[in-house]
Amino acid sequence: MSAAGGRATSAPLMGRASEPSLFELGEQGRRSASFRTNGLPEWSISELVPERFRAAEPVALAEVAERDLVAHFTRLTHRQYSVDLGAYPLGSCTMKYNPKSCDAAAAMPGFAEVHPGSPPSIIQGWLEVLVELEEALCAITGMAAATLQPAAGAAGELTGLLLMRAYHDAHGEHRPRVIIPDSAHGTNPASVALSGYEVVTVGTNARGGVDLDHLREVLDTDVAGMMLTNPNTLGLFEEDIVEVTNAVHDVGGLMYYDGANLNAILGVVRPGDMGFDIVHLNVHKTFATPHGGGGPGAGPVAVNEHLTDFLPGPKPVRLPDGHFGFETPPRSIGRLHSWHGNALVLLRAWAYLRLNGADGLRGVAEAAVLNANWLKERLRGVYEIPFDRPVMHECVLSAETLEKETGLRALDVAKRLLELGFHAPTVYFPLIVHEALMIEPTETESPQTVAALAEALELIATEARAAGSAEQAKAAPRTTPVGRVDETRAARHLVATFDQRGDVAD
């Protein structure tokens, strides 16, 4: 018998069977949808749409009863790890627990059911939230103004680089190059290229910071600016940050702050005080929007007073009469979003900032840094610490020696950790560390959880050393919904839709 119909079995839980696709669960003629009684004339499609535009056949979709729809997607949720379930120590991703009250804010009809094309007279509440968020983000970063339009961090990067370009254009300068450290996130070089700049990579010194001598070598008046994450992707604060920003400013370049790791320095130091001119924030990481399996996010960009005229528009503003409206800055680079940005994500960020206040944000940074340092010290001697100094919000360890001695690779550590009940850390990043394990516990994991994570990581290394092989970890994970996935086959025999299934020979 086919899988069709309401076989509401729990078999697909945790690996006992695959979950059929929704298309296989369908049965022609079955349905869930119902609509308002509308009293309208029942014109047929042929009366409504001229023949030349009309489809001969409707697009085929799965046809399921509501009960089966619920069973299918509920079973899928049982095959999915999430922050609400357990720790998610993915380095650079800041997978903290997100307060439910922020989700509740975003679900309020008074915010969620507002049409973005509404006139300002009926969106005063929304505009007030956005203006207050802009003000708070400026206070946190030490900047003068911000745009909330960019939909995610990468869009924020592109925005910042277009602002950089507009600034130099306005000064009649053509500067073709942007500097990026070799430890940078991949979005940085990709954004630089997409904004029409050429990437110049600068090296990392022995202490894990920007190599100042190398930086000075590549600096000249062709340099439009430099993108920097601080703390960087090694989890280290750039000790020479003032020298770095001064050197770039000395040749007329601008400093761009990648806010991916802002969590570590909330209330401790502001990018503006380090000498940055442009700052993007990943509010979905730092200010608690759940990541949704890959998105949505929001990537506001804040700038200092030299760049405010170039910000995208239209921009929510406080009007002299106390009401709120829109304004486009005089030399705006233009629009970056169809409407006003990822508003419900921004609302969550606003709510999170209010729940924390200044003290709470400082506490976030302190606990995040405390957890990361404790974990690093706890794992000293278990894994290598390639750049051995106190870290900020995350630590980068290496399994290089273990790999040589036992064959245990960072990937194996990750897979064995899944089996032990935790999500894996980020592996093989940053690229400058061999067999990298990049671990970010975040501030919301208790000391007990961090200790348990450390124990699990220790067990993986200890058992490999004891056995003299990585056999145990290579077989992992065995307790997850599926075992190790054949990624090569996925790429070689691409099946990216249900309809391509038949095209692939086994």
Partner 1 sequence: MSAPFVPHTDGEISEMLAFLGLSSLDELFASVPAAIRLAGGLDLPDQWSEADLRDRLEDLAANNRPVGRQLVCFAGAGAYDHEIPAVVRALASRSEFVTAYTPYQPEVAQGVLQALFEYQTMVARLTGLEIANASLYDGAAALVEGVNMAVAHTGHSSVLVSDGVNPRWRQQLQTFSRGPGHEIARVPLVGGVTDWEHAAAATADRVGAVVVATPNYLGCLEDLSAAQQVSHRLGAGLVVCFDPVAAGVLKTPGSLGADIVVGEGQAFGTPLSFGGPYLGLFACRLEDVRRLPGRLVGETVDVEGRTAYVTTLRAREQDIRRERASSNVCTNQTLMAVTAAIQLGWLGTAGLVEVATRSARAARYCREALLALDGVEPAAPAPVLREFALRTPLEPQLLIERLLEEGFLAGTPVEEGFVGTDYAGSLLVATTERRTRAEIDAFAAAFDKAVR
- Separation of alpha carbons 390 and 395, rounded Å: 9
Q: How many Cα atoms sit within 13 Å of 44 on the Cβ side?
A: 4
User: Smallest distance from the beta carbon of 189 to partner 1, in angstroms?
Assistant: 4
**Burial grade of 451 (CB within 10 A; 0-12, 13-18, 19 or more):** middle
Nearer to partner 1, 23 or 400 (CB): 23
- DSSP of 211-231: -HHHHHHH-STTEEEEEEESS
Residue among 123 and 219 whose Cβ is closer to partner 1: 123
Q: What angle do CA 411, 416, 419 make, to 5 degrees?
A: 135
Round to whole Å and give the CA distance between 252 and 351: 38
Nearest distance in Å: CB 253, partner 1: 18
| Cβ at position 173, least distance to partner 1 in Å | 16
Spatial contact of 283 and 349, defined as CB atoms under 8 Å apart: yes
CA contacts within 13 A on the Cβ side of 488: 0
| Smallest separation (angstroms) from partner 1 to the CB of 284 | 7
Residue number, 116 or 468, with CB nearest to partner 1: 116
CB of 409 to partner 1, least distance (A): 15
Q: Is the dihedral of CA 95, 96, 99, 105 positive or negative?
A: negative
From the CB of 273, what's the least distance to partner 1, in Å?
A: 5
CB of 163 to partner 1, least distance (A): 11
Burial class (CB in 10 A: 0-12, 13-18, 19+), 50: exposed
For partner 1, the closer CB: 249 or 465: 249
Three-state SS sequence of 20-48 = CCHHHHCCCCCCCCCCCCCCCCCCCHHHH
Minimum distance, C-beta of residue 111 to partner 1, in the bound complex (Å): 6
Residue closer to partner 1, measured from CB, 383 or 429: 429
Q: Cβ contacts of residue 85 below 8 Å, gap of 6+?
A: none
Q: Would you say 11 or 466 has its CB closer to partner 1?
A: 11
Cis before 430? omega within 30 = yes
The sign of the torsion formed by the CA atoms of 361, 365, 366, 371 equals positive
Nearer to partner 1, 205 or 401 (CB): 205
Residue (135 or 250) nearer to partner 1, CB = 135
Smallest separation, CB 363 to partner 1 (Å): 3
In angstroms, rounded to a whole number, what is the distance separating the alpha carbons of residues 171 and 159? 19
One-character DSSP codes across 323-350: -EEEE--TT-----SSSSSSHHHHHHHH
Q: How far is the CB of 33 from partner 1 (least distance, A)?
A: 3
Q: Are 148 and 134 in contact (CB under 8 A)?
A: yes
User: Helix 343-378 and helix 447-467: axis angle, to 10°?
Assistant: 50
Nearest residue (CB) to partner 1, 21 versus 221: 21
- Based on CB atoms, which residue is closest to partner 1, 104 or 466? 104
